[in-house]
Amino acid sequence: MEGNNKQLSDIRELVRRLASEASVVSEPTDYAKIRKVHKEAIKSGYLPSRTHGIDPSVRSIETCIALCEMVSPDRNMIVATLIYNLCAAGVLDINRIEELWDADVAHLVTGLMKVTTLYGKQTVVKTDNFRRLLMALADDIRVIIIMIVDRLTLMRAINHHPDEKFVIDTAFEANYLYAPLAHRLGLYKIKSELEDMSLKYSSRETYTKIARELNETKAARDAYIASFIAPVKEKLDKTGLKYEIKGRTKSIFSIWNKLRKQQVELSGIYDLFAIRIILDVPREDEKAECWRVFSIVTDMYTSNPKRLKDWLSIPKGNGYESLHTTVIG
């Protein structure tokens, strides 16, 4: 009984968090309708079954919170995520969803159902064909985003899970399928977290070693980033541009890839840091001002022309536009 009370308390706290995160997009009747259909489902005998010990209701709420925090609050995506389990269990149909919400929510749930069917038909996801089928069946990029964020939620939930094979399989799938999709959609923070957790679960010793070494040198790295940024910021301030500048150490997975490819120790990796300068300028001035900032940075630090990536002249397929270069600090 005590365990059930704690679970209910945890769910209420998650619901409160979601209500706060989604307050700017939710409609007054949304949560009342969701509670209503869940109560009706329970009365008809529906009980959410745990998969690998993970409560689907908790997972769907946590997915919605992550969606708000890491992508953007979206009312229809949140509603579709919260009611999907009822549709998968056959206790809520698409016509009822249209009656209670609208055709767009029904469309998103239908998309989620389609890709779930694809999973049921495939024994493995280690094929490019599977990825193409997934994209084709979803037919709405929002369905793919929900799936990516749901996978992030699942990965967060399985740390120290007792079923080792399940953890390894989930980690592989996250790294092979969902991290590249997140990268393609410009969800870089999610992509990095998926990759890091995948390394953590598949090679915990390696992950822990790199994390420990990074932690031991954190103060020195933070000081270095600050000293690198300071003169750049001083120069940028004189231009009158509106900008934001951020510095970070690259992800553990990215560092592991460099260690593996270059066959060196952590101390031998030189491009451990990433600096991002984001400009707030009129659209017609974006390219010129980006090149202006690039010129400021490369006047101060020696640039490696072989590492220049110009996504201003030819933007990425997802619309991403920027200049990337490597400089010597």
Q: Report yes or no: 115 and 138 within 8 Å, Cβ to Cβ.
A: yes
Give the pLDDT confidence score for residue 179 in this predicted structure: 93
CA-to-CA separations, 304 to 271, 307, 308, in angstroms, rounded: 12, 6, 7
- 90-117 pLDDT, tens digit each: 888 899 999 999 999 999 999 998 887 7
Angle at 13 between CA 142 and CA 40, to 5 degrees: 70
Average the pLDDT over each of 4-13, 170-179, 312-321 and give the range with the smallest value. 4-13
Q: Report yes or no: 273 and 225 within 8 Å, Cβ to Cβ.
A: yes
E strands, 105-197, in order:
none
Domain spanning 2-202: CATH 1.10.3210.10: yes
Burial class (CB in 10 A: 0-12, 13-18, 19+), 56: middle
Q: Where are the domains of the chain?
A: 2-202, 208-328
Superfamily holding 208-328: Beta Polymerase, domain 2 (3.30.460.10)
- 220-232 pLDDT, tens digit each: 888 888 898 999 9
DSSP string computed for 156-170: HHTTT-S-HHHHHHH
Q: How many residues does the chain have?
A: 329
- 255-275 pLDDT, tens digit each: 888 888 877 776 666 667 888
- 289-306 pLDDT, tens digit each: 999 999 999 999 988 888
* 3-class secondary structure, 245: strand
Give the pLDDT confidence score for residue 320 in this predicted structure: 80
Give the pLDDT confidence score for residue 196 in this predicted structure: 95
**Mean per-residue pLDDT, 246-250:** 83
pTM of the shown model: 0.81
Give the pLDDT confidence score for residue 231 in this predicted structure: 92
**Mean per-residue pLDDT, 304-309:** 85
Give the pLDDT confidence score for residue 1 in this predicted structure: 44
Give the pLDDT confidence score for residue 158 in this predicted structure: 94
Decide if pLDDT at 17 tops 50. yes
Decide if pLDDT at 199 tops 70. yes
Decide if pLDDT at 79 tops 80. yes
Top-confidence residue, 33 or 135: 33
Give the pLDDT confidence score for residue 142 in this predicted structure: 93
**Mean per-residue pLDDT, 42-62:** 84
**Residue 164, CA atoms < 13 Å, CB-side half-sphere:** 3
Q: What average pLDDT does the chain have?
A: 86
Decide if pLDDT at 21 tops 80. yes
